[in-house]
Amino acid sequence: MTERPILLVEDNPDDVDLTLRALKKNRIANEVVVAGDGEDAIDLLFRDEPLCPGLVLLDVKLPRMSGIEVLARIRADRRTSFLPVVMLTSSTDERDMVEAYGHFVNSYVRKPIDFNEFIEVANQIGMYWLLVNRVPFT
């Protein structure tokens, strides 16, 4: 398992807590860096000493800069173009999904209301993207 941190981009503190709780329940020990909005996320990723996460969990609806725009910036930069990004969102809107896949998102996951289900979803995401999936070193 990679020791790289997980970047969670989420403006809702409830969702942040519940996500962290779900990750912890699944014993995913990677550091989780939380960005409250899109600009913070971009700042973290492209600052002088950039954060190099192993996975980005990205909400769609964010203040200041939307998740789709953040995704576009990640894919546009050579350094982050292969970074695994999973959209983790409430929206099942068709257009959001189309846009996300249009910008080469790695996975699109709807957050279930049932917390037990959410734990299961978090487990599968962590297991797959941090453990099973392989990414070229950049």
Partner 1 sequence: MVCAWSAAALSAVVLIGWVTHWWVLTHTLPGQIQMKANTAIGILAIALATLLLQRAGASGSKPTPARGSNALSTVARALASLTLIIGIVAAAQYALGVGFHFDELFFDDPIEAGELTPAGRMAPTTAVSLVLLGSSALLLALGALRRLTVWLTCGGGAVPLFVLVGYLYAVPGWSRSGPRAVMAANTALALLLLTVALLAMNAEAEWFHRVFDPASYAARLARRVFGFTSIAIICVGWIRLVGERAGLYSTAEGLALASVFSMCLGLGVVAVFTRLLRDEERVRHDRERDLIESEARWRAMFDHAQVGMVQTAPGGRLFLANAKFHELLGFTPEELRQKTWAEITLPAEVAESADAVARVLRGESSRIELYKHYVRKDGSPLLAHVVSAPVRHPSGEVAYFVTAIEDVTERRRSEQALRLSDERFRLAARATEDIVYDWNISEDRIWWGEALARLGYQKPSHTLEWWSSRVHEDDRADVERLLFEALRGPDERWQSEYRFQRADGTFAVIHERGFIVRDDTGRAVRMIGAMSDVTMRREAEEVLRDSHAALQKMVAERTSELRVERDRLQVLAGELQTANVELEAFSYSVSHDLRAPLRSIDGFSQALAEDAGDALDDQARSHLARVRAAAARMGNLIDDLLELSRVSRAVMSMGEADLSAMGLSIARRLCEETGREVRIEIEPRLTVRADAQLMGIVLENLLSNAWKFTSRKAEPSVGLGRSADGSFFVRDNGVGFDTRHADKLFVPFQRLHRVSEYPGTGIGLATVRRIIRKHGGDVRAESEPGRGATFYFTVPSDGDSA
Binding residues vs partner 1 (CB under 8 A): 12, 14-15, 18, 21, 60-61, 89-93, 111-116, 118
Is residue 58 a contact partner of residue 87, using CB atoms and an 8 Å limit? yes
Cα of first residue to Cα of last residue in the chain, in angstroms, is 17
- Distance (Å, whole) CA 38 – CA 60: 9
- Which CB atom, from 3 or from 114, has the smaller least distance to partner 1? 114
Least distance to partner 1, CB of residue 95, Å: 9
Rama region for 27: left / alpha / beta (φ>0; ψ in -120 to 50; rest)? left
Least distance to partner 1, CB of residue 94, Å: 8
- Distance (Å, whole) CA 55 – CA 75: 13
Least distance to partner 1, CB of residue 61, Å: 5
Distances (CA, A) of 26 to 22, 74, 102, 104, 118: 6, 27, 31, 27, 11
Least distance to partner 1, CB of residue 60, Å: 8
- Which CB atom, from 103 or from 111, has the smaller least distance to partner 1? 111
- Which CB atom, from 101 or from 115, has the smaller least distance to partner 1? 115
- Which CB atom, from 22 or from 56, has the smaller least distance to partner 1? 22
